[in-house]
Structure 1
Amino acid sequence: MKKTIKLSDKVIIEIKKDIASGKLKKGEKIPAEPELMGHYAVGRSTIREAIKTLAISGILKVQQGSGTFVVSKIKDETLSQRLKRADFEEINTVRALLEKEIVKLASKHRSETDLTTMENLLQQRKKAIEEQQQKKCAEADIAFHISIAKASGNQVLSDLYENFSSVMRNFFELRDAADIKHFSNSQHLHEALFEAIKKQDPNEAEQLTINILANNY
């Protein structure tokens, strides 16, 4: 499921991308409001909100009578900072690549302790669904997938996935309570994924992960 995002946040992401790519360079004046409105297909208030946010963060500077200028490059970002300005499709594509590899490795390297952790988190996820606790369900879902990453036996891959999970947590928080049905609809797939990892079947685990991702669960 795609996240709900404010129009001004979309404009902020696009302006940051243009600065990071060099399309807008430090010291340059950005296009005037009417041009930005046409380019992003949004209203004046949305453009002003985006510019205000970027100015507060020190990326842009508004000079009365002269216009708005880029005053800071976007470079040498940490991975977490880069992920925060990525859009959902970018995140989901990399998430898919990571998760397919993680479940295969976890199927080979999981320990009994790993399995116990996964099973407990699945139970927490199920209980949260039954109680209609969307936030608790999201937390249990993320923790379940992190536990699989830790079971992969690859610390770098596990750390990388945890960085992605922090971004996915933000996406989940933007869903309203009614969207708990997306968690409910995929509970059986997550339970099947656990069983595949338990019986050390990497091919089945990968296919189940593909099914989960295909439905944006």
Structure 2
Amino acid sequence: MLRPSPLVDQAVRHLRERIAAGDWPVGSRLPGETTLARELGVGRSTVREAIRALAGAGLVRTRQGAGVFVVATEPAEDFAARLRRASVTDVCEIRMMVEIRAAELAAERRTDTDLAVMDARLAARHEAEAGGDDAAFIDADIALHVAIVAAAHNPVLSDLFTTFVPVLRDGLLDLAELVNVHAADATHGHAAHTALVEAIRDRSPAEAARIIRTELERTLNHLAPKP
């Protein structure tokens, strides 16, 4: 019998353990609410809440008129959790796909307000290059890229890029401990990012895509040097 508090959490944990142990294999039907309530020593409402939690985790599914069926033995992993486990190289490869298209769209859709934000963040990035603080430089660089993605005016694209930022930042900080990339190549980095903003200002999608591809390939080469 379960301890009285918190009942729902304990019920969820107990049922998950039973599912993971194979007591109810994938495809099998869970016992009814009354049976589970009696087994756990709780009310049917507690069982109902626990089943909802299991369904939310992707472990069970309710079939109207048939019952509750096990559909997985491990909880579904959300995208944010998957990203936290990803390598920075993998994230940067996906980042390249997102940013190339974002740069093209930004060149087509940018507004004067977008350009003002990009100009300010480009200046902040250049200032951070000279400051010698890796974290400040990486934050300024990412902020500029966030502004470029925002200028694409696609909220889904912006949300997707935002989910990459924490993993991307951590990976770039780790890289900075090994390779002082911005100090070693500061002049090129500033020139390339200036050219990127100018291509967006000039409404040149092909040129913006070419520049961002080249820059992100340089980053990938630092992360995963070719033999």
TM-score class, shorter-chain normalisation, is 0.5 to 0.7
**Does residue 178 in structure 1 map to residue 180 in structure 2?**
yes
1:89 paired residue number: 89
- Please identify the structure whose Cα radius of gyration is greater: 2
2:112 paired residue number: 112
**Does residue 164 in structure 1 map to residue 172 in structure 2?**
no
2:205 paired residue number: 202
Q: CA RMSD in A?
A: 2.3
The alpha-carbon distance between structure 1 residues 188 and 170, as it changes in their structure 2 partners (threshold 3 A), is: same
Give the Å deviation of 1:143.
0.6
Q: Distance in 1 between matches of 2:217 and 2:124?
A: 24
1:104–1:203 CA contact under 8 A, matched in 2: yes
The alpha-carbon distance between structure 1 residues 27 and 173, as it changes in their structure 2 partners (threshold 3 A), is: farther
The alpha-carbon distance between structure 1 residues 75 and 89, as it changes in their structure 2 partners (threshold 3 A), is: farther
**Secondary structure of the structure 1 residue equivalent to 2:86:** coil
Give the Å deviation of 1:130.
1.2
Amino acid in the other structure paired with 1:198: R
Q: Distance in 1 between matches of 2:142 and 2:198?
A: 18
2:139–2:169 CA contact under 8 A, matched in 1: yes
Q: Distance in 1 between matches of 2:184 and 2:98?
A: 21
Counting matched residue pairs gives 150
Q: Which structure 1 residue ranges, 5 or more long, are not aligned?
A: 1-25, 29-72
100-109 or 83-92, which deviates more: 83-92
Give the TM-score, by structure 1 length. 0.63
Q: Distance in 2 between matches of 1:122 and 1:182?
A: 19
1:117–1:147 CA contact under 8 A, matched in 2: yes
The alpha-carbon distance between structure 1 residues 205 and 77, as it changes in their structure 2 partners (threshold 3 A), is: same
Amino acid in the other structure paired with 2:208: A
Give the TM-score, by structure 2 length. 0.61
Q: Which structure 2 residue ranges, 5 or more long, are not aligned?
A: 1-19, 23-72, 221-227
Per-residue Cα deviation, 1:130-174 (whole angstroms, up to 9, x for no partner): 121221111111010111111101000111011112211111222
Q: Distance in 2 between matches of 1:149 and 1:135?
A: 21
Task: Calculate percent identity across the aligned residue pairs.
Answer: 29
Amino acid in the other structure paired with 1:180: H
Give the Å deviation of 1:27.
4.9
Amino acid in the other structure paired with 2:92: N
